[in-house]
Structure 1
Amino acid sequence: MNNVWWSRAAIAVLVITAALAWAFIPAVNLFINHSIAALASLDQQGIEHFIHSWGPQAAVVSFFLMILQAIIAPLPAFVITFANASLFGAFWGALLSWSSAMAGATLCFYLARILGREAVEKLTGKSVLKSMDGFFARYGKHTILICRLLPFVPFDPISYAAGLTSLRFRHFFWATAIGQLPATVVYSWVGSMLTGGTFWFVTGLSILFALSVLIVMAKSLWLARGKNEH
């Protein structure tokens, strides 16, 4: 219980410190505003240029961007993953994207635990959060793993929604770590070779693949339920 309390306290202090820095330090305010503008453009090449412009600090800036997009969902993370792969290569880009996405997911989870449902609804929107609740009602303890495997299910709202449930953090963490790995590897591998509009084609293929995975998993869950009932 003490570890949980300290974790929540640490994240609360981190968020408050960041908010104060944004409000009272002009350089921080300018950097965050430029970061949000880069993310809002949904332009992979624009985000890549923004990250690259920071030179030796590029990887740190990319890590921050991934966390920032997690907080201000539903900005998509895959454009950052493509940019990372293009800038740092398939392996290091994937490692950077995976680790920063894990940090963002953890932050969303604990923010939900600290702030509660009303605050989360303001961050994600009531309708989005309600649809996330539907996933938990339908898939139960398998929700995180299933949703992480599906690129069309928003990554961050699921993290927020999980924080509002009784799900233990370690279960959330490992399901997220495993579930997001395939998409991160695929996006990074493709992003290291392709640029421009081509990645939309790859995204479409990834969605088709994810649908196939969902069908197989849903069938397995249905068969398992049938066996339990008998």
Structure 2
Amino acid sequence: MNIQRKKMGITILFMIFVLGSLYVLLPDVRYFIQDAVKQLAKADIEAVKDYLLSFGAWAPIVSALLMIISVLIAPLPAFVPTFANGLLFGAFWGGLLSWSSALLGATLCFYMSRGFGRPVVEKMVSKKALDWMDRFFKNYGIHSIIIARVVPIVSYGIVSYAAGLTSMRLRTYLIGTAIGQTPATILYSYLGEHATESMWILFWAFVLVICMVMLGSVLKPWIEKRMRKKGKTGSY
């Protein structure tokens, strides 16, 4: 089983090397990736939808590539192609496309992180973000991936890279990612298909509530520690 995982890891790293070579050597590939990054960076869902439509029958494949790029280049918003897919392909098929391509991107990040090591990953994302994720994984253990995927606390890509630097098994990582990303994918895809002002209000209300709950759970250990210190001080 370990040999199979190693072979898979070597294969994926080889594929990344080939893609990197194509980016350097072929201007058309380089232009496509740069243009895709530009479209994602705008975070304009309608613009991304129109961009995908311009590829005709190739739109689903281009959409999958956009999702993978948004995951690999950590600062890019991974929710943009998810909304666009819901708007373009409908909640079910768009959601399925987003879910599967995001999982593929997350797997690539995981293996890249394992293959390149922390010094390289720190240059790709940021040392500060990785240090924060280290503490997060330490506090929440096996549930950390599910929590990080459910709540948009950190970039999808940064979570993926950080997980690859831990001793977490690939199976645990993939199961946690698959489960954790499902609620958000369903919500974003549905909102994409039914894009109305009221839906957007519902979406941001949902995000606000989830973030507040997450913030409370993150601050809980610190608050309890402060309360214990105050209690000890008051007893003297």
| 3-state SS of 1:28 partner | helix
Kindly provide the CA deviation profile for residues 41-90 of structure 1, in whole angstroms up to 9, marking residues without a partner as x. Answer: 12111111111110000000000011111111121111111100000001
- CA gap of 1:199–1:30, structure 2 versus 1, over 3 A, is farther
- 8 Å CA contact retained: 1:152, 1:207: no
Query: Gaps (5+ residues) in structure 2?
Result: 219-236
CA distance in 1, matches of 2:200, 2:106: 24
CA shift, 1:199, in A, is: 6.6
Letter in 2 for 1:46: A
Identify the residue that residue 210 of structure 2 maps to in structure 1.
Answer: 210
Q: Does 1:152 align with 2:149?
A: no
Letter in 2 for 1:2: I
CA shift, 1:217, in A, is: 7.7
CA distance in 2, matches of 1:138, 1:216: 14
Q: TM-score, normalised by structure 1?
A: 0.88
Q: TM-score, normalised by structure 2?
A: 0.86
Letter in 1 for 2:89: F
CA distance in 2, matches of 1:155, 1:189: 20
CA distance in 2, matches of 1:147, 1:58: 29
Identify the residue that residue 172 of structure 1 maps to in structure 2.
Answer: 173
Identify the residue that residue 4 of structure 1 maps to in structure 2.
Answer: 5
Identify the residue that residue 19 of structure 2 maps to in structure 1.
Answer: 18
Letter in 1 for 2:173: F
CA shift, 1:152, in A, is: 2.9
Letter in 1 for 2:35: H
CA distance in 2, matches of 1:97, 1:209: 24
Kindly provide the CA deviation profile for residues 169-209 of structure 1, in whole angstroms up to 9, marking residues without a partner as x. Answer: 000000110111001101111110116x7775344222134
- CA gap of 1:198–1:134, structure 2 versus 1, over 3 A, is farther
| 3-state SS of 2:194 partner | coil
Letter in 2 for 1:12: L
CA distance in 2, matches of 1:199, 1:48: 18
Identify the residue that residue 131 of structure 2 maps to in structure 1.
Answer: 130
Identify the residue that residue 140 of structure 2 maps to in structure 1.
Answer: 139
Identify the residue that residue 186 of structure 2 maps to in structure 1.
Answer: 185
| 3-state SS of 1:180 partner | helix
CA distance in 1, matches of 2:20, 2:202: 37
CA distance in 2, matches of 1:29, 1:76: 20
- CA gap of 1:53–1:202, structure 2 versus 1, over 3 A, is farther
CA distance in 2, matches of 1:177, 1:211: 20
CA distance in 2, matches of 1:59, 1:21: 22
Identify the residue that residue 41 of structure 1 maps to in structure 2.
Answer: 42
CA shift, 1:215, in A, is: 7.8
- CA gap of 1:205–1:213, structure 2 versus 1, over 3 A, is same
CA shift, 1:27, in A, is: 1.5
- 8 Å CA contact retained: 1:151, 1:206: no
Identify the residue that residue 226 of structure 1 maps to in structure 2.
Answer: none
Kindly provide the CA deviation profile for residues 9-38 of structure 1, in whole angstroms up to 9, marking residues without a partner as x. Answer: 111111111111111112111111111111
Q: How many residue pairs are counted as aligned between the two chains?
A: 219
Give the number of the structure whose alpha-carbon radius of gyration is greater.
2
CA distance in 2, matches of 1:168, 1:33: 33
Identify the residue that residue 50 of structure 1 maps to in structure 2.
Answer: 51
Identify the residue that residue 201 of structure 1 maps to in structure 2.
Answer: 201
Query: Gaps (5+ residues) in structure 1?
Result: 219-230
CA distance in 1, matches of 2:142, 2:65: 30
